[in-house]
Structure 1
Amino acid sequence: MTRHADVVVVGGGQAGLAAGYHLRRLGLDFVILDAQAEAGGAWRHTWESLHLFSPAAYSSLPGWPMPPQAGEAYPDARHVVGYLTEYERRYGLAVHRPVRVLGVHRDGARLRVETDSGTWRARAVVSATGTWWRPFLPAVPGRSAFRGRQLHTVGYRSPRDFAGLGVPPAGGWGSVFVVGGGNSGAQIAADLAHDTELTWVTQRPPRFLADDIDGRALFDAATARRRALFDAATARRRALDEGRTDTGGVASLGDIVAVPPVREARDAGLLTASPMFVRLDRDGVVRADGTRAPADAVIWCTGFRPALSHLAPLGLRGRRGHIPTTGTRAVDEPRLHLLGYGDWTGPASATLIGVGRPARDAARDIAVLLEDGG
């Protein structure tokens, strides 16, 4: 069966809901297709102790401020799931789930969206699948030879999962290496610091924001740099196409927000970072000086890549899989917008509060396209 909509939004997490809010305000005909069985996007799949690094008021989607969470200055993931669930209901957003999009194809004057439950034909598509579903693992020598447990951020839930690893050290459960110097690495290391023999390793010494500063500073910095980001867009896209790291926007600040659990572990001397090891062997890690350290588990808090496999039939990717964009619009397919993948689709667009503006811009651009007969 083939169904029709002016706009199909792929993904029902925070970016997809922000797009739906603005499309609805403009009176456009749209549907949101979400592969998840329930509302909440990737927030349903995070570790138990995860907290936002901004207060609720600074973690809101357009239209409705996130209510504060009782007893928490920084809302946890469960609170975010509840907020997104209510946001969807509050604005009557047309989310179809679970629907997995298999591919987006050109089909004359329309884009054909093939799913596991039928076909949609649309005049425009917003891709808002995010990055959580495509974790990045670095090519560290010896990773395949390591006999211990390995997992990425997406697979971590709580310290309980590491009970009984190896020979428990005094007062702990096992030797765990957490790799990564961003907020995820710091939060997971802090979560494990009290119950495991933890080693936190980073490429460079971690930089903590001052304790009285939170994620609002990151968003404000990204917003202030909006014009600079626009001026530097060509150079940054070239860097992405060549596989180099995108060092602009929020990522360039490189700071860790000292949310209470991170601050407590740091101040107790439990969160001291060590230099990154150079390789793994069967039983542990090998440092740059040749010394070895045993490890029962390695947790890779090493980031993500955009989940864009559904767009492969359009043939838009350059080298290393990057799709060139102007704002949120794909350069070589003006009927396609990409939303929420990072600074290259709008400053801070991968955050709750940051996705609102590029979602608004994408909806307005689509409205013009449809009005002009696109």
Structure 2
Amino acid sequence: MNQHTDVVVVGGGQAGLAAGYHLRRQNLDHVILDADPAPGGAWQHMWDSLHLFSPVEHSSLPGRLMPAQPGETYPGAGHVVDYLADYEKRYDLPVQHGTRVRAVRHDGERLLVEADTGTWRARGVISATGTWTRPFIPAVPGRSAFTGRQLHTVDYRCPTDFAGQRVLVVGGGNSGAQIAADLALDGHVEVTWVTQRPPRFLRDDIDGRALFDVATARRRALDAGRRDTGAAASLGDIAAVPPVRAARDAGLLHAKPMFSRLTADGAWWADDSHTTVDAVIWCTGFRPALSHLAPLNLRGPRGHMPTDGTRACGEPRLHLLGYGDWTGPASATLIGVGRPARDAAGEIAHLLRS
């Protein structure tokens, strides 16, 4: 069954909802196709103790301030899910949940969005699928030989799943630090935290507000042809949210250097020391979930899809939103996705009306 619309948004998380908000303001007919059966995007799959590292006034989508969560400076993941569900309902956004997009093609005149419920013929497409469904685990020697449990960030929920166990947490970013802190503070798990380089904590007075300001200033400088002011990562890699700060101050959050290989029962380091572990949690990041765009053949020689802002260089009817700084400064954050969503909707509106 073929259906017609001006714009199809692929993905109904925070980026997809921001896109829908601005498409509505442009009076463009659109539909948002989301694979999840319920609102909330990736936030509904996060671990139990996760909190934002920005307060609500710096964690909101366009048009609707996130309400405060009682007793919390930094809202929890469940609060974000409730906010996104309310946002979707408040603006009556046309989200079709439980609809997975398999491929995006073109027939010359239109873009064809092939979903498991049928095909949409659209004049424009915004891809907003994020990264959560493409966890990355590095090719570490001995990984296939390890007989214990291996998980990625996407699989972690709470410390009680590891009570009485020895757990190796790999990764020096926010996820690695927060999960290591969560396990260490529980007191019933023996945690070894491993990072590729010594962890770099942001100052305690710096949170997502400052990171967004740095990312925005960098993008403005680059757009104006000025020198690169440095990415937000230049300030540090780990935001000292309350649980991380508590574990660090209690002396529970010490990182070891990366091990040289895994064995059947644990890990070996370059100094020939060995640690026996029951589980490894890989907090090693994600890759953009773009397999549905493969039929368009837009990837460059190194697998990267070139963009001008959010617009795909090889297909002006396609915009990519929410994948990180390469599709807009801080566009993978709640507060950061609003401006590139507005720009994408505006560019599509201009293209269609011309």
Quick one: structure 1 residues 210 and 159, their matched pair in 2 at CA, closer, same or farther if it must change by over 3 Å? same
Q: Which residue of 2 aligns with 1:333?
A: 315
Contact between 1:102 and 1:114, CA under 8 Å: does it hold in 2?
A: yes
Q: What amino acid maps onto 1:96 in structure 2? A: Q
Q: Distance in 1 between the 2:14 and 2:170 partners?
A: 27
Q: Distance in 2 between the 1:232 and 1:199 partners?
A: 45
Q: Which residue of 1 aligns with 2:303?
A: 321
Q: Which of 324, 330, 335 is 1:342 aligned to?
A: 324
1:188 aligns with 2:169: no
Within 5 Å, give how 1:33-48 maps onto structure 2.
33-48=33-48
Quick one: structure 1 residues 208 and 354, their matched pair in 2 at CA, closer, same or farther if it must change by over 3 Å? same
Q: What amino acid maps onto 1:109 in structure 2? A: E
Q: What amino acid maps onto 1:325 in structure 2? A: T
Within 5 Å, give how 1:79-228 maps onto structure 2.
79-163=79-163, 173-193=164-184, 194-228=187-221
Q: What amino acid maps onto 2:170 in structure 1? A: V
Distance apart, 1:279 and its partner CA? 1.1
Distance apart, 1:248 and its partner CA? 6.4
Consecutive unaligned residues of structure 2, counting only runs of 5 or more, are none
Consecutive unaligned residues of structure 1, counting only runs of 5 or more, are 164-172, 237-246
Quick one: structure 1 residues 187 and 232, their matched pair in 2 at CA, closer, same or farther if it must change by over 3 Å? farther
Q: Distance in 1 between the 2:223 and 2:135 partners?
A: 28
Q: Distance in 2 between the 1:195 and 1:228 partners?
A: 48
- SS in structure 2 of the partner of residue 225 of structure 1: helix
Q: What amino acid maps onto 2:306 in structure 1? A: P
Q: What amino acid maps onto 2:93 in structure 1? A: L
Q: What amino acid maps onto 1:114 in structure 2? A: E
Quick one: structure 1 residues 321 and 117, their matched pair in 2 at CA, closer, same or farther if it must change by over 3 Å? same
Q: Which consecutive aligned stretches of 4+ in structure 1 deviate over 2 angstroms post-superposition?
A: 227-233, 247-255
For these two proteins, the number of residue pairs brought into alignment is 351
Distance apart, 1:346 and its partner CA? 0.4
**CA RMSD, Structure 1 to Structure 2 (Å):** 1.6
Contact between 2:33 and 2:97, CA under 8 Å: does it hold in 1?
A: yes
Q: What amino acid maps onto 1:209 in structure 2? A: L
Distance apart, 1:214 and its partner CA? 1.4
Contact between 1:249 and 1:348, CA under 8 Å: does it hold in 2?
A: no
Q: Deviations over 1:314-346 (max 9, x none)?
A: 011123431100000000000000000010000
Contact between 1:229 and 1:249, CA under 8 Å: does it hold in 2?
A: no
- SS in structure 1 of the partner of residue 177 of structure 2: helix
Contact between 1:250 and 1:348, CA under 8 Å: does it hold in 2?
A: no
Percent of aligned pairs with the same residue? 74
Distance apart, 1:98 and its partner CA? 0.8
Q: Distance in 2 between the 1:137 and 1:103 partners?
A: 25
Q: Distance in 1 between the 2:331 and 2:87 partners?
A: 18
The farther-off stretch of 173-182 and 121-130 is 173-182
Q: Distance in 1 between the 2:129 and 2:153 partners?
A: 18
Contact between 1:200 and 1:273, CA under 8 Å: does it hold in 2?
A: yes
